[in-house]
Chain A
Amino acid sequence: MPKIIYITSTGTEHAVDADSGSSAMQTAVQHRIPGIDGDCGGVAACGTCHVWVDQNWLDKIGPARPGIEQEMLALTDGATPFSRLACQIELDDSHDGLVLRMPTDQH
């Protein structure tokens, strides 16, 4: 059960235990973490689970993937090379301690 740390735009930290095999979006929604919407249900089609990943973690999990994830992020407010869609990050024990920063609002 990896521990995932979600940080809101105002700096509040929410540390939760995730189930291996679920995504970082599903985990946030299950734990009712404010700042992740996940409107499309996890297929990278709405861009409402945008998160920023720190450099050291980005090296491990990799940047946004070509295709729909990159296409959606290209249209997302405040997206940077550190941006991912949380629904595309599938969690397992290797993600223990992963830090995800969230924008003020998901668009």
Chain B
Amino acid sequence: MDIAINDAERARTMPLEDFDVSDVSLYQREALHPYFERLRKEAPVHYCKASLYGPYWSITKFHDIVAIDTNHKQFSSDHTNGSFVLDDTTLNAVEGGISMPNFLGMDQPVHDVHRMAVSPIVAPANLLRFENLIRSRTKDLFDSLPIGETFNWVDQVSIPLTTMMLATLLDFPFADRAKLTRWSDVVTTRPGYGLVDTWEQRTAELMECLGYFQNLWDERQKLPPKADLISMLAHSPAMQGMTPTDFLGMLVLLIVGGNDTTRSSMSGSAMAAHLFPDEFAKAKADPSLLASIVPEVIRWQTPISHMRRTAIEDVEFRGQQIKKGDKVVMWYLSGNRDEEVIDRPQDFIVDRPRARHHLSFGFGIHRCLGNRLAELQIKVLWEEMLKRYSRIEVVGEPLRVPSNLIHGYVEMQVRLHA
């Protein structure tokens, strides 16, 4: 493809000081990797002087990302210091954005209190309870898919499966569950990327989300406690003082964390099967490989491209002077392709040794809360795919999410082969 050749050439020749890996157009055409490769080699801790989001540091090597991710004392996630995503408008009241604080954007000790209020939802006992449900939904869905005809995998597989799961976690009215998908998408966008036209529209939709959930909260508070996230919040002593702003912040975290991420890994599963048919065949012949396939596809896709921290003091890191207040972006998408840590990192390898050693869930106190549930969903998806199909073929160029945060697909036409 011309675009790919141009990007490879540009990434090789462009002066490092002109690199801006937050440029959304790079993600739309999946052209990031040559830029990240050069940064890892020549400027692993790189300062971008100007971008749509202001100046920021890029951390691109695996071990450097782990070092920042676990250094909670110098690199803050707290919304009062900045944000945990590069774009301040996503969760803070700047430009047209609104404030939606949540525990991913909190430092200790408040972080722990909020996280513990919802973490029982993914405790082992609940996961066991969910497995049968996930299995039957996945089977029913695959039974309804056509063989040999072209259809959009994102709309027909990734979105329905993850939205049903999220509706179950929240005990959300099932008939209205498409709203969850919509709100999830609206949180991580800005006007002009095809989803909302104005900041006012985005705010209005998020307020509709808040109103809807306030009714659910009121309902659940009057009922005995149940094992769904809204009931857990409504009955949690620590959460009684939540303001509407806090509640919306918590909701958007649960909705995006529980939806967009696994959706992208499910879409990435089809793409991996398409691009690596020999690996798919190997997996089909030996389902015991699922233990490595599941983490491998989550690494290979890397559904969250980055997380950001804000330096709360001056720090010298790998010879670079990071100043108090600077934005520091950990590019998981790059770290998961770091050839010094991961052998043949661009390839999807179903029997990769130590496949669990990847960055997609982050590390440290903010490590993904739902990682085991996500793995369970992906495991069941692959088990059912491998039972049914000899090959999954992606037809034409997919449409990717215009985002430097959500690394996924809007549309992916596929054809299934029996």
Q: Is the CB of A46 within 8 A of B363?
A: yes
Interface positions of A from 35 to 73, Cβ below 8 Å from B = 37-41, 43-48, 68, 71-72
Q: Which of B115-123, B171-179, B344-352 lies at the interface?
A: B115-123
Nearest neighbor of A41 in chain B, beta-carbon distance? B357
Are the CB atoms of B69 and A45 closer together than 8 Å? yes
Take A68-B364, A75-B112 as given contacts and tell me if A105 and B357 are in contact as well, using a CB distance cutoff of 8 Å: no
The chain B residue with its CB closest to the CB of A48 is: B356
Note all chain A residues with C-beta closer than 8 A to B363.
40, 43, 45-46
User: For residue A46, which residues in chain B have a CB less than 8 angstroms away from its CB?
Assistant: 361, 363, 367
* B124 contacts partner chain A, Cβ-Cβ < 8 Å: yes
- Which of A40, A43, A68, A77 touches B123 (beta carbons < 8 Å)? A77
- Are B367 and A47 in contact, CB atoms less than 8 angstroms apart? yes
Interface residue? A74 (CB, 8 A): yes
Q: Does A94 contact B (CB under 8 A)?
A: no
Q: A40-B66, A68-B70, A71-B108 are in contact. Are A105 and B364 (CB under 8 A)?
A: no
Check B379 for interface membership: any CB of A closer than 8 A: no
Q: Is A107 in the interface zone, CB < 8 Å from B?
A: yes
Q: Tell me if B364 and A77 are in contact (CB < 8 A).
A: no
Report, as a range, how many residues of chain A touch the other chain.
Answer: 20 to 34
Please count how many residues in chain B sit with their CB below 8 Å of the partner chain's CB atoms. Answer: 23
A106 and chain B: residue at smallest CB distance: B372
Contacts of B356 on A, CB cut-off 8 Å?
37-39, 48
List the A residue with the shortest CB-CB distance to B356. A39
The answer to whether B124 touches A107 (Cβ under 8 A) is yes
| Measured CA separation A105–B123 after assembly (Å) | 9
Question: Does B365 reach chain A (CB closer than 8 Å)?
Answer: yes
Which residue on chain B has the smallest CB distance to residue A71? B365
A72-B365, A75-B112 known; A105 vs B372 contact (CB < 8 Å) = yes
Closest to B364 in A: A45
Residues in B with CB closer than 8 Å to A75 are 112, 115-116, 119, 365
Instruction: Please indicate the chain B residues that have their CB under 8 angstroms from the CB of A44 in the complex.
Output: 70
B363 closest partner in A (C-beta): A45
The answer to whether B29 has its CB under 8 Å from any CB of chain A is no
Chain B residue at minimal CB-CB distance from A9: B124
Beyond A45-B363, A45-B364, is A107–B357 a contact (Cβ under 8 Å)?
A: no
Q: List 14 A-B contacts (CB under 8 A).
A: A38-B356, A39-B361, A40-B363, A43-B66, A43-B363, A44-B70, A47-B367, A68-B364, A72-B365, A74-B112, A77-B119, A107-B123, A107-B124, A107-B372
- B residues whose Cβ falls under 8 Å from a Cβ of A: 66, 69-70, 72, 108, 112, 115-116, 119, 122-124, 127, 356-358, 361, 363-365, 367, 371-372
Chain A interface residues toward B at CB < 8 A: 37-41, 43-48, 68, 71-72, 74-75, 77, 104-105, 107
Closest 3 CB pairs between A and B?
A45-B363, A105-B124, A45-B70
